[in-house]
C-alpha cells in the first residue's frame, strides 16, 4: 500500500511533520505478578512465566541489552493463556458470575514526567506536548488517520511531575525502573500509566503486555522528546506512543514470527519476514498473499508511512481488553 498524499497532514495543529524512523524490537524483561488475582477461575491455569516487555531502539543505536522479539514458544504460551482466560470468562458470564464484555472503552491515562531538574534538557517538557500525545493516540486508535476505528479512546487524568535524578535516565530492566513504577503507578489494570523521560541505551520506549495479574511494572515508557513537537529529530510525531500502547493492548509486531507460523496472530496483517524501514512501497518479503504491511503502526517504518491498525488488530485488542483489563 502506498503513501497517501495527505498523510503528512494527519496530525493535530502544532505537531511537527518531520518523518521519523522507529526501530522497534522486543526485550525479554519479565513482569513480576502482584499478589491479587483477577478471580478464582483464573487460578486454574498459570500464566506464562516470562510475559516480556517490548522495547524499541533508535536507528543506528546500540543497546547494551539487545532487545529481541518473542520466541515462538513465548507466543504460544501467551496465546494459550489468552484462550484460557477467555474460556474462564465465558463460563463465569454464562453462570452470571462475571461482567458482560465491553465494546467501547475510554482509557484513563496518568502521565508521569520524570525529570532530572527543572530544565527542558533535564526532562521538563511542557504540558502541551503531553496533550498532543493524547491527541495522537485518539486519532490513531479512532481511525482518523486512515485505519480501522478501534474501541479505544484515551482521556488524560493527570500529569505527575517527579524530579528525581536517581530515576533519570530511565534504565530498562533496572532496579531504579522498578522503584519508580512501584512508587508512582496509579489505578487498576484499565489505567494506562505512561512514564516519560530520557531513556537508556538509545531506546525510544518499551511497554508491558497485559497479564491476568496486575504488576506494578505495568505501563508504557516513552522518550519524552519523541512526543509531538519534541526535539528528537526524526522521532517527534508521537507514534512511539501509538506503537507502545498497541503492545500494552496485546498487539505483536507485524513481523512477529516472520513468514512462518501464525505470525502476529492477526489474520489480516500479511506475513512479513523482517521489519520494514523508511517507507518501502511494494515491499513483499513472504510468498503468502499480500504486500508487507508497511503502513501499520506495529511495523518499523517512518511515522510518515505508518497510519493504521487493521480490523483484525482492533478485534484482538478488544478481546484482550475484555480478557485482561476489563473491570
Kindly list the structural domains of the chain, giving each domain's residue range(s) and its CATH number in brackets, ordered by start. 104-325 (3.40.390.10)
Lowest mean pLDDT segment, chosen from 102-106, 153-157, 311-315: 102-106
With contact defined as beta carbons under 8 Å apart, do 236 and 225 qualify?
yes
Query: Distance between CA 174 and CA 90 in Å, rounded?
Result: 38
Q: Is 10 a residue whose pLDDT tops 60?
A: no
Query: 158: which strand partners?
Result: 110
Q: Is 198 a residue whose pLDDT tops 90?
A: yes
With contact defined as beta carbons under 8 Å apart, do 11 and 308 qualify?
no
Predicted TM-score (pTM) of the model is 0.82
152 closest CA partner among 110, 209, 192, 106: 106
Start-end of H helices in 143-238: 175-184
Q: Which residues contact 278 (CB under 8 A, 6 or more apart)?
A: 21, 301, 302, 305
Please identify every residue annotated as catalytic.
Answer: 244
Q: Is 31 a residue whose pLDDT tops 50?
A: no
pLDDT tens per residue, range 149-189 = 999 999 999 999 999 999 999 999 999 999 999 999 999 99
Higher confidence at residue 254 or residue 98?
Answer: 254
CA trace torsion 191, 207, 40, 85 (10° rounding): 110
Query: Distance between CA 228 and CA 133 in Å, rounded?
Result: 6
Amino acid at each position: 500500500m502506498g503513501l497517501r498524499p495527505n498523510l503528512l497532514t494527519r496530525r493535530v495543529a502544532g505537531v511537527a511533520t518531520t518523518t521519523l524512523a522507529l526501530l522497534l524490537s522486543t526485550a525479554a524483561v519479565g513482569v513480576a505478578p502482584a499478589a491479587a488475582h483477577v478471580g478464582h477461575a483464573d487460578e486454574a491455569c498459570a500464566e506464562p512465566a516470562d510475559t516480556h516487555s517490548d522495547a524499541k531502539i533508535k536507528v543506528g543505536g546500540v543497546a547494551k541489552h539487545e532487545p529481541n522479539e518473542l520466541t515462538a514458544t513465548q507466543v504460544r504460551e501467551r496465546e494459550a493463556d489468552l484462550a484460557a482466560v477467555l474460556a474462564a470468562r465465558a463460563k463465569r458470564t454464562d453462570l452470571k458470575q462475571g461482567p458482560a464484555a465491553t465494546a467501547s472503552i475510554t482509557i484513563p491515562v496518568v502521565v508521569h514526567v520524570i525529570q532530572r531538574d527543572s530544565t527542558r534538557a533535564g526532562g521538563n517538557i511542557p504540558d502541551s506536548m503531553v496533550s498532543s500525545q493524547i491527541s495522537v493516540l485518539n486519532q490513531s486508535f479512532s481511525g482518523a488517520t486512515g485505519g480501522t476505528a478501534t474501541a479505544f479512546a484515551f482521556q488524560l487524568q493527570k500529569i505527575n511531575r517527579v524530579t528525581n535524578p536517581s530515576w533519570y535516565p530511565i534504565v530498562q530492566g533496572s532496579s531504579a525502573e522498578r522503584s519508580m513504577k512501584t512508587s508512582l503507578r496509579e489505578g487498576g489494570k484499565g489505567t494506562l500509566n505512561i512514564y516519560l523521560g530520557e531513556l537508556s541505551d538509545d531506546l525510544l520506549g518499551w511497554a508491558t503486555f497485559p497479564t491476568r495479574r496486575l504488576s506494578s511494572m505495568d505501563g508504557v515508557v516513552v522518550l519524552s522528546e519523541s512526543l509531538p513537537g519534541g526535539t528528537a529529530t526524526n522521532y517527534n510525531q508521537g507514534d512511539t506512543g501509538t506503537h507502545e500502547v498497541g503492545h500494552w493492548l496485546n498487539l505483536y509486531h507485524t513481523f512477529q514470527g516472520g513468514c512462518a507460523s501464525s505470525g502476529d496472530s492477526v489474520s489480516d496483517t500479511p506475513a512479513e519476514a523482517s521489519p520494514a524501514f523508511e517507507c518501502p512501497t511494494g515491499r513483499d518479503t513472504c510468498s503468502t498473499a499480500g504486500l508487507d504491511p508497511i503502513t501499520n503502526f506495529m511495523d518499523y517504518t517512518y511515522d510518515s508511512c505508518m497510519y493504521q491498525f487493521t480490523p483484525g488488530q482492533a478485534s484482538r485488542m478488544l478481546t484482550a481488553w475484555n480478557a485482561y483489563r476489563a473491570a
